[in-house]
Amino acid sequence: MNGRREEHVVLLDDGGKPAGSMPKTLVHHTKTPLHLGFSCYLFDGRGRLLVTRRAMSKRTWPGVWTNSCCGHPAPDESAGDAVRRRVREELALGIDTPTCLLPRFRYSATAPDGTMENELCPVFCARADGPVQADAAEVMDWRWVPWSDFVAAAALRWPISPWAADQVPQLAAAPGFSRWTEGG
């Protein structure tokens, strides 16, 4: 576990309210319970998006390209604090205050191996500061790309994670989103 304490995931009832917690190692399987996650899209000062390729050791969607960072808030941790923590752990980046653009994004998807994701997954954007130093246990590759390139990949669906493919058109339509892709 890379010297980290065992992570716990917040379980949710059908209405999206906390209903307990479970060790992350036990949550993802063929009947994954609804739980709380987050997605973060990091942009640099030029308006480029940081995309990452998930490490082959990841339980869900190994080797798949996706948004900048995903994770799970710990019990009693705010989603914004969880975003900052995971960006620091996975990418060694500082970020400005994360802005939640899709607070009620929810999805479920089943990987080819039968592992299911089932999350209420608020979607954040933030500006990143500093060089990327990816944790190889989390990220096997990364790139800064124009938003339009990621939109094109999302339209094809297969080159990126199912959650990112669903998030992209919703993000693009979110009020104020264009400020992230304009840079500055």
Q: Which domains does the chain have, with CATH numbers?
A: 8-166 (3.90.79.10)
| Candidate list 70, 121, 125, 138, residue with the active-site label | 70
More confident: 6 or 77: 77
pLDDT tens per residue across span 154-163: 999 888 999 9
Quote the pTM value: 0.94
Per-residue pLDDT reduced to its tens digit, 133-171: 999 999 999 999 999 999 999 999 888 999 999 999 999
Annotated binding-site residue? 117: yes
Torsions phi, psi for 57 (to 5 deg): -85, -5
- Has 72 been labeled as part of a binding site? yes
Is 7 marked as a binding-site residue? no
Confidence check: pLDDT of 184 > 80: no
8 assigned binding-site residue: no
* Residue indicated by tokens 């739980």: 35
Q: Is 125 tagged catalytic?
A: no
- Asked if residue 62 lies in contact with residue 87, where contact means CB atoms within 8 angstroms, the answer is no
Residue 8: alpha-carbon gap to chain centroid: 17
180 neighbors 146 (Cβ within 8 angstroms): no
User: CB of 123 within 8 A of CB of 35?
Assistant: no
Of 6, 77, 89, 119, the catalytic one is 119
- The structure tokens listed for 58 are 């990841």
Please confirm, yes or no, whether 70 is among the known catalytic residues: yes
CA–CA separation, 53 and 63 (whole Å): 6
Residue 89 among known ligand-binding residues? no
Q: What is the mean pLDDT of residues 94-113?
A: 95
